[in-house]
Structure 1
Amino acid sequence: MKQLWLFSVRTYIRAGLFFYFKEIKTINAHNIPINKPVLLLPNHQNALLDALLIATQTKRPAYFLTRAGAFNNPIAASILKSLNMLPVYRIRDGWKTVSKNNSVFKTCSELLLQNKCVVIFPEGSHNINRTVRNLSKGFTRLVFDTIATNKECDLQLVPIGFNYIKPEDAMDSVAIYVGKPLQAKDYSQGERHTMTLALKNDMQKQLSILTTHIDSDFYQETINKLDTLGVDYLNPIVVNECINSGFTICEKEPKKKLILLKKGLKSAMIFTLFPPYLIWKFLVEPKIEDIEFRATFRFAIGITLVPLWLLVLFIIVTFIINIQVASLLIISSLLISLLAVKL
């Protein structure tokens, strides 16, 4: 029953992401082993959408370590746990709660020893800036605890880089770069503190290749130059080369086409979906303080209120006119939305 629930939710979320993003590209997904214990380690820019993309765009079912604050509501906690999400506690959640991580990490180790897949965001928090931040030691603790329990465990550490064009905006595109796995066994020899530093350093280097990495000391200056040059943020290798070359070797993002048509379709989409749009624009968006959560809440509106509105619209038109007209109206609304996003 749980597998059916997970499959249904995954399918629905995948459909929602298809309508939300203009393009979703997953590069080198084959780097994720199928029959080995795997720890997926992505950078973290776009709040919950990062996790949803991993859950729907990779073949392996996964367990996700999620910030404990999301579990405060009992109903939300039940739903999250049913979706294989586990709470991880941080100092900001209170010193007394941090000790709860012992049982959480033990559970994760047990899952990995059963050849399962676990996802943890090694930066420890999200930030919309195009910078790979210093990695926390939480993921290294999980690695070393697991291989200490079973030295024969062939644990694979897979870095993943998220690359959005403009993550806070609607109709964005994303490229997910999956790197070659590091072998946990390679860090099992030697003093743990030394190996921890080595693992963090190696993983940070890998993530800095798989996504655009801008030195935080020169962030605003660099991002302004990149935006002026019009680089393609979906290709981090080219963008990083542009930065490292002093902005002399830079490829531009492909020019946008059909701009007027796209604007017209966007207006038509807003018109057909105006109740959810008004709720988003005037009730939800103004209350979002952190820009990193904007896309998450917009997507949540899209997969909840939009289908509800279309159902209400279908019932009303069916009652006033007939089911054929109602069906045509709903199909037209979906087609307009799809074209507005994809063009």
Structure 2
Amino acid sequence: MSTNRERIEEWSKAYWLLRFYQNFLFKLYFKTEIVGMEKLPPNTTFIFAPNHQNALIDALAMLTLNHSWQPIFLARADIFKKPLVSKILTFLKIMPVYRIRDGFENLSFNDSIFQKTMDVIRKGSGLVILPEGNHAGFKRLRQLKKGIARIALQTEDASDGTLNIHIVPVGLDYSNYVRYRSKLLIRIGEPFPVKKYLDLYRQKKALAYNALIDELSERIKAEMIHIKDEENYDEYLYLTQLFPKKYIQENKLPHTQNQAFEISKRLISKLDNLKISDRNTFNEIIQSTHELRARTSSHQVKSQALPLTLGKAINLVWMIPLFIVLSPEAFFGFINHIVPIIIPYQLSKKFEDIQFHSSVRHAAGLLLLPIAYLIQTTIVGIIFKSLGMAFLYLVLSPVSAAALYYWRKLFYKVKGLTGITLLAMNKHEEFKHINNLHFKLMDRIKSIY
């Protein structure tokens, strides 16, 4: 297990084993769909540049692209201050980048980091840089930092253009940043060569940096949900949750995350154009969306439940008995996993920034799950004095976790259907008004789409 930064670009078996385990649990946490891998030509030097919305999860998402790939990440230097933490981060193939705020006297350390970055790129290990610099929990690309341009152009220049470095724009799109089993779409954009800016770099570095950053910014925006309208952000976002599902169903399109993404991108573009060409119609759509969002939120109705119908209430006839039947199995699953469930949840609550919650829960779960399984299986073996019982317990533990997950999912379905049924019975006019709002809004959206 290498914790020597001088060998960070070398392939590590220990890292591969840890990454295999991490990827397995990561894809349990997020339903991950990857598109565009065919755009990556073989035997090419890449720097990957994803948008940054979800703290550590964004970096871990990049590890799911290729099972044998061991990319190097760059992170701010202040997290490397403690020797033990520095060794762990180096093992995880993360290198520090020093900023002025880390102390002017420390900026010279970037020279050695730059040299090591060149080794990484020459080795073909791949480099991942999150060019926004820090994360923000909204679907909009912020101004990119120039660090990625400096590293790419300085390295290409040092090799006299022989490395042929390509920067790969990557879009990460989450259906929810924290919730377990949320959806994550990873879109790989078209790589573009750094050396097309090399002549400009040798004449005027600042112009070359700006030109590269401008192109990269536009390319990343093309691969992510980018809502530039800050004033109407919530309404835009609500429509991207509401319209694609209906459009996919009506047109019998593939039920994939990428299909919904493409529809959302087109819808956002249509709304942006409408805002310029027909402000009155745009305002009507935004106002209707705002009202629908407010009314559904007040009744705890999710967008995917629209249009509201009592037809599905019949499902409560079998859902409620099934919920009761599964309750003992779910309780067994909760008791078995109380440590890797409660501790990560409580730890995440210590962070005010919600974007850290999934990172903390996932990282803590990675550590606590095997420890809990090992200790609990050992205890069962000792109590029953049977290796067979211990093995049976170990096998049944993941099954009980699945039972707990589906029980919880069923609980929220029963809760949602019950809420809709009660709304229809007790506030029928409101029930009808929400549906009328929904149908009129969808008709209006289809007319501009």
Q: TM-score, normalised by structure 2?
A: 0.67
- Structure-2 change in CA distance of 1:79 and 1:201 (3 Å): same
**Percent of residue pairs bearing the same amino acid type:** 27
Equivalent-residue separation in structure 2 for 1:228 and 1:49 (angstroms) = 22
Q: 1:279 to 1:100 in 2, by over 3 A?
A: same
Unaligned runs of 5+ in 2: 3-11, 246-255, 272-281, 286-301, 307-311, 410-449
Aligned to 2:38: 30
1:41-61 Cα distance to aligned partner (Å, 9 max, x none): 111112112212212332532
Give the paired residue count: 338
Q: Does 1:286 align with 2:357?
A: no
Q: Distance in 2 between matches of 1:292 and 1:338?
A: 26
Q: 1:46 to 1:57 in 2, by over 3 A?
A: same
Instruction: Provide closer, same or farther for how the CA distance between residues 68 and 197 of structure 1 changes in structure 2, counting only shifts above 3 A.
Output: same
Compared CA separation, residues 327 and 46, structure 1 to 2 (3 A):
same
Which residues of 2 match residues 155-166 of structure 1 at below 5 A?
155-166=165-176
Query: What do the CA deviations read for 1:116-153 (whole angstroms, capped 9, x no partner)?
Result: 31111111111121111110000000111012112222
Q: Work out whether 1:211 is the aligned partner of 2:224.
A: yes
Residue type of the alignment partner of 1:304: L
Measured after TM superposition, the shift of residue 162 of structure 1 is 0.8
What secondary structure, in the 3-state scheme, does the structure 2 residue paired with 1:189 have? helix
Match of 2:102 among 88, 93, 115: 93
Matched to 2:268, the amino acid is I
Amino acid across the alignment from 2:269: N
TM-score (ref. length: structure 1) = 0.87
Partner of 2:374: 311
- For 2:270, the equivalent position in structure 1 comes to 245
Counterpart position of 1:270: 334
> Are residues 82 and 202 of structure 1, via their aligned partners in 2, closer, same or farther at CA, if it must alter by over 3 Å?
same
Residue 188 to residue 228, structure 1, CA distance change in 2 (3 Å): closer
1:132 is aligned to 2:195: no
CA drift of 1:63 comes to 1.1
2:177 paired with 1:152 = no
Q: How does 1:319-334 map to 2 (within 5 A)?
A: 319-321=382-384, 322-334=386-398
Alignment of 1:182-197 (within 5 A): 182-190=192-200, 191-197=204-210
Decide whether the 8 Å contact of 2:341 with 2:365 is kept in 1. no
Alpha-carbon distance change, 10 to 140 in structure 1, aligned in 2, over 3 angstroms: same
Q: Deviations over 1:38-90 (max 9, x none)?
A: 11111111211221221233253211112223322211211211232111123
CA-CA distance at 1:324 after TM superposition: 2.6
Structure 1 window deviating more from structure 2 (273-282 vs 224-233): it is 224-233
| In structure 2, C-alpha distance between the alignment counterparts of 1:68 and 1:266, rounded to whole Å | 44
Q: 2:111 aligns with which of 77, 102, 108?
A: 102
The structure whose residues are more often helix, as a share, is 2
- 1:38 corresponds to which letter in structure 2? F
Partner of 2:215: 202
Relative contact order, CA 8 A, sep 6+: which one is greater?
1
Unpaired runs of 5+ residues, structure 1, are: none
* 190-199 vs 79-88, greater mean Cα deviation: 190-199
